[in-house]
Amino acid sequence: MAFDLKNKLAIALEKRAPLFDVTDALRIVNGAVDGFPGLTIDKFGDRYQMQFFGPELLTSKTEIVEALAALFNPICVVTKERLSSSGRSLENAPMDVVVGSREDAVGTVREGNANFHVDLLDTINPGLFLDMRHVRLEVEDRFRAMSGASPAHLADLANLENSAQTGLRFLNLFSYTCSFSVHARLGGAAVATNADISGKILDKGRENYALNGLDLRPGEFFRGNAIEYVHWAQKKGLRFDGIVLDPPSFARFKGFNFNVREHLMPLVADCATLLNPGGFFMVSSNYSEFNLSAFARDVLAAVSSVHPNAKTSWKKSQDVDFVGSGSTKDSCLVATLVEV
């Protein structure tokens, strides 16, 4: 049993080999397609997160942990059981540190040119959504191309005070820990504005800026409803060269219930009014009922209502480590990028 589990883990890891030079944070098991039904395993440097979405392997938890520990010698392994049928909040999902200590659950990971803080015990997600890695890296590449700066000069460019007044601007809505914005700033964006309702989450974003040697600039952190920010930015006449809109499926803020099915496309159209000609707009959702082709078509239609010459650059799902993406509700993503 132990040998079989170790062999399955080794095979699953080998599938992700193309990412080894890019990052040390990746999904190494994505459920049944990797031979582990109902289970995902994410690697965050030397720390590992195991999430049980179904009961199939619960009785084998100890053996899987032992195989994982034998193969990877982790600093920490945290297990999370997301099995509740009562609709209990994700923040309260049962978590256990099965290797290492609670202090060991905190660390940093590398992603391309960026580094990010992670905490495996901070609710369900440790601070970095792995399935959006390929888009974050593209955001950095796009700003580097727009800025015309070489990678060797970007560190200096990122800290020039006058560049914040005249340079490229990025808008990150539902920003979470601001990972998109870190990549945008590293790519040469002068200002990367983050909007999120959680002050705690934005503080983690500030920590990620500091970890990457980025100064904090006026207007980069907005605590509040992303929709409110967009409407405020419209009134102020603000414009951006890149926008990322990656909302939760459902959210509540000051009595307003955001529903991605009902409110996303009107928000896309509003965001399009903030986009400079030559800019890009990435929209994504983990809502399992969305169809990728229909989603991309609807996003383009909403943006085209403001920019008639807008075109879809790509439509895609999760990155290569999410093998079998879309086969279950626990591993799904629709994303599209529009250029104007």
Domain boundaries, the chain: 2-102, 130-339
For residue 201, report the phi and psi dihedrals to the nearest 5 degrees. Answer: -65, -40
Three-state secondary structure call for residue 340: coil
The band of 321, judged by pLDDT with boundaries at 50, 70 and 90, is very high
Q: Is the pLDDT score of 2 beyond 70?
A: no
Collapsing DSSP states into helix, strand and coil, what is residue 158?
coil
What pLDDT, on the 0 to 100 scale, is given for residue 152?
Answer: 45
Please name every residue paired with 331 in a beta bridge, in sequence order, or none if there are none.
328
Asked if residues 336 and 314 have their Cβ atoms less than 8 Å apart, the reply is yes
* pLDDT (0 to 100) of residue 3: 66
Mean pLDDT of the chain: 91
Q: Are strands 106-111 and 256-259 parallel, antiparallel or unpaired?
A: unpaired
d(CA 338, CA 310) in angstroms, rounded, equals 7
Q: Outline where the chain has alpha helix (H).
A: 2-15, 61-72, 133-147, 151-157, 163-166, 179-187, 199-211, 226-236, 260-272, 292-304
Instruction: Determine if residue 146 is left, alpha or beta; phi over 0 gives left, psi from -120 to 50 gives alpha, anything else beta.
Output: alpha
Segment 214-270, tens digit of pLDDT: 999 999 999 999 999 999 999 999 999 999 999 988 877 777 788 889 999 999 999
Confidence of residue 93 (pLDDT cuts 50, 70, 90): confident
Work out the end-to-end distance of the chain between its first and last CA atoms, rounded to an integer number of angstroms. Answer: 55
Residue 87: pLDDT band by 50, 70, 90 thresholds? very low
Question: Residue 314 pairs with which residues in a beta bridge?
Answer: 337
Q: Which of 192, 191, 164, 165 lies closest to 178, judged by CA?
A: 192
Rounded-to-integer distance, Cα 319 and Cα 22, Å = 12
Question: Where does 2-102 sit in CATH, by number?
Answer: 3.30.750.80
Q: 130-339 architecture in CATH? A: 3-Layer(aba) Sandwich (3.40)
The position carrying tokens 């660390």 is 107
The pLDDT tens digits for 125-184 are 899 999 999 999 999 999 999 998 544 444 444 444 444 556 999 999 999 999 999 999
